[in-house]
Chain A
Amino acid sequence: GDSVTQMEGPVTLSEEAFLTINCTYTATGYPSLFWYVQYPGEGLQLLLKATKADDKGSNKGFEATYRKETTSFHLEKGSVQVSDSAVYFCALAYTGRRALTFGSGTRLQVQP
């Protein structure tokens, strides 16, 4: 079956540091890939997505590239802010199906 593996957290960074959160996936087909973010006490928000190999999703300074050869979708940001502190989830889903398969989540803590 399909699965998503994320790096263990928490990830603790100082403000303005470079962020990478690793995500790899196992899929039987050709899914779309997503990064969702969950702030404390809130639901999930879509951060970015990529629907096919070599696509790059980007939003709010975050980027991730769909790498089919390495089955990866790593999240990066050049300069994190305290307000980026949250839990980040990598996920996959197939076109026409709503069922998202999520990774375990990575908690990011950014210190001033």
Chain B
Amino acid sequence: KAGVTQTPRYLIKTRGQQVTLSCSPISGHRSVSWYQQTPGQGLQFLFEYFSETQRNKGNFPGRFSGRQFSNSRSEMNVSTLELGDSALYLCASSPDVTSTDTQYFGPGTRLTVL
């Protein structure tokens, strides 16, 4: 079974631009979560989607948004990029949300904002 895939793997943008990152979960998984990893703040939860609905959102500004499609693929969008948005963005998938299922992480998208 293929793992979680994230595209693109690397991205360079300039301040003020917007960016869209994509995540394809493991086949059959319906829950997708996103995390931001930075040297200063560590790993922080962004949001969680299940069956196209956002279930939880972390403490991030409204510039960070996401969605999930009917095939469980998910995208996250960051508008009006700031230098501090430079980070590794990780996506994780799990089968459902009814138990403490293992979350399987993708390799991440490394975003650099210049």
Contact = CB atoms under 8 A, between A and B. Distances in A.
A101 B45 contact: yes
Interface of A: 32, 36, 41-46, 49, 51, 89, 91, 93-105
Interface string B53-88: 001101000000000000000000000000000000
6 contacts: A46-B103, A98-B56, A98-B94, A99-B56, A99-B58, A100-B103
Interface pairs A-B: 4 shortest CB-CB: A43-B105, A102-B43, A44-B105, A98-B48
A46 B102 CA distance: 7
Given A43-B90, A43-B108, A89-B43, A98 B103 contact: yes
A83 to B, nearest CB: 19
B18 to A, nearest CB: 24
B33 A99 contact: yes
A97 B97 contact: yes
A100 B56 contact: no
Nearest to B99: A95
A44 B90 contact: yes
A94 B44 CA distance: 16
A105 B43 CA distance: 9
Contacts of B33: 98-100
Contact of A51 (B90, B98, B100, B107): B100
B80 to A, nearest CB: 25
Contacts of A99: 33, 45, 48, 56, 58
A98 B42 contact: no
In this complex, the member of A43, A98, A100, A103 whose beta carbon has the largest number of chain B beta carbons within 10 angstroms is A98
B31 interface: yes
Given A44-B105, A98-B33, 10 more contacts: A43-B106, A44-B43, A49-B102, A95-B99, A96-B100, A97-B55, A98-B48, A99-B33, A101-B45, A104-B42
A62 B103 CA distance: 19
